[in-house]
Amino acid sequence: MRQQVIKLKVGKLESKGVAKIWRINKSNIKKRLVMRAVVEEGGYLEMKGKIVIGKNIADVDVFLEQRVLLMGVGARAVVIPELEIESNEVKAGHATSVGQIDQEQLFYLTSRGLTRELAVKLLIEAFLA
Q: List interacting residues with another protein (CB under 8 A).
A: 39, 55-56, 68, 70-100
Nearer to another protein, 11 or 74 (CB): 74
Q: Which is nearer to another protein, 76 or 114 (CB)?
A: 76
Distance CA 64, CA 66 (A): 7
Check: CB of residue 58 under 8 Å from CB of residue 90.
yes
Our CB check for another protein shows the closer of 56 and 112 to be 56
Q: What residues does 19 pair with on adjacent strands?
A: 48
| Least separation in angstroms between CB 52 and another protein | 10
Burial of 35 (0-12, 13-18, 19+ CB in 10 A): buried
Give the whole-angstrom CA distance, residue 34 versus residue 127: 12
Least distance from C-beta 48 to another protein, angstroms?
9
Task: State in angstroms the smallest separation of the CB of 113 from another protein.
Answer: 27
